[in-house]
Amino acid sequence: MTSTAAAGSARKDAQDKGSTTTLGRALNEGLRQAMRDDDRVVLLGEDIASLGGVFRVTDGLAVEFGDRVVDTPLAESGIIGTAIGLALRGYRPVCEIQFDGFVYPAFDQIVSQLAKMRARSRGLLRLPVTIRIPVGGGIGAVEHHSESNEAYFCHTAGLRVVACGHPQDAYDMLRAAIACDDPVIFYEPKRRYWDRAEVDLGRPVDGDTVGRARILLEGADVTVVAYGPTVAVALSAAEVAAAEGRSLEVLDLRSLSPLDTTELCRSASKTGRVVVVHEAPVNVGLGAEIAATVMEHCFYNLEAPVERVGGYNVPYPPARAEGDYLPDLDRVLDAVDRVCAP
């Protein structure tokens, strides 16, 4: 065995056992493994081959997989339209939208074609297309680069919508999304791309990860529901609350559509108090659906109304003001105080 091959083998052994990596690198490894497992998987997006994408999530994949990694023109509608055609011919396309606010030119393709084809054909046609979207603020970006537009797609029947908030989930959920026969909107929290954690790259694909919530921290007093970029905020709030003698349970939704109502309601019934945290505006946001679901199914177990913490009903502000817009530790703890008030 050559020294290069030996080094590669050692790297793979270390990865299979679990190693510390960033969320962005975990996504890269998820794409790599999906492409190795199935030669029908192809990647499309702006600068994803030559540059590795804006956040370098596709870095190095063009070297290994050649023309299965395609640099597209700057035309999101064309990217999704091409992916739909490829899916109809048996491929499993994975599209990258550079930033969340750039997805709108492709909105018609997604909601009118991608989401509807299976129902329109009575199940004869399936479109296994995964659309990766970096989401949320917190990186000091300019206009149209910090949107949280998940409610649009959660409202669209025929789409699965998921959001990862942890490197292990990034790896597991992306592989499961690509293997899914339904179209999947896959949100990646851009300000968490550099968060590090131990990731086991030897796990098999588990299709249930694209539809199942997960308890990250057991608690007794309040359930804090979060997803994507706000998962870390919820965990920080739980840590501070614990020092003050209050026990928070943190539920990472992971799947935004469909909602895992079983796990959501189990946790809500257990604690009797719920706070929902997301970066999107509270007005007609996903938190409203979560609150309504909890009220409908857990009403007699609740000790207080469900509280929502999120963005304000204004266009996303300039970078210098985003700290006042995004839900932070203090706003979450304030909501916890309100639901615990006598």
Catalytic residues: 145
Residues in a beta bridge with 161:
185, 257
Residues 6+ apart with CB under 8 A from 239: none
φ and ψ of 93, to 5 deg:
-75, 145
Rounded alpha-carbon distances, angstroms, from residue 75 to 52, 79, 106: 18, 6, 8
Contact 305, 341 (CB under 8 A): no
The Cα–Cα gap between 268 and 98 comes to 36
Please return the burial class of 247, using the count of CB atoms within 10 Å of its CB with bins 0-12, 13-18 and 19+. Answer: middle
Which residue type does 21 have? Answer: T
Torsion sign over Cα 42, 92, 147, 24? negative
The closest of 45, 40, 7, 10 to 27, measured between CA atoms, is 45
Which residue type does 336 have? Answer: V
Extract the tokens encoding 336. 């916890």
Torsion sign over Cα 326, 197, 56, 158? negative
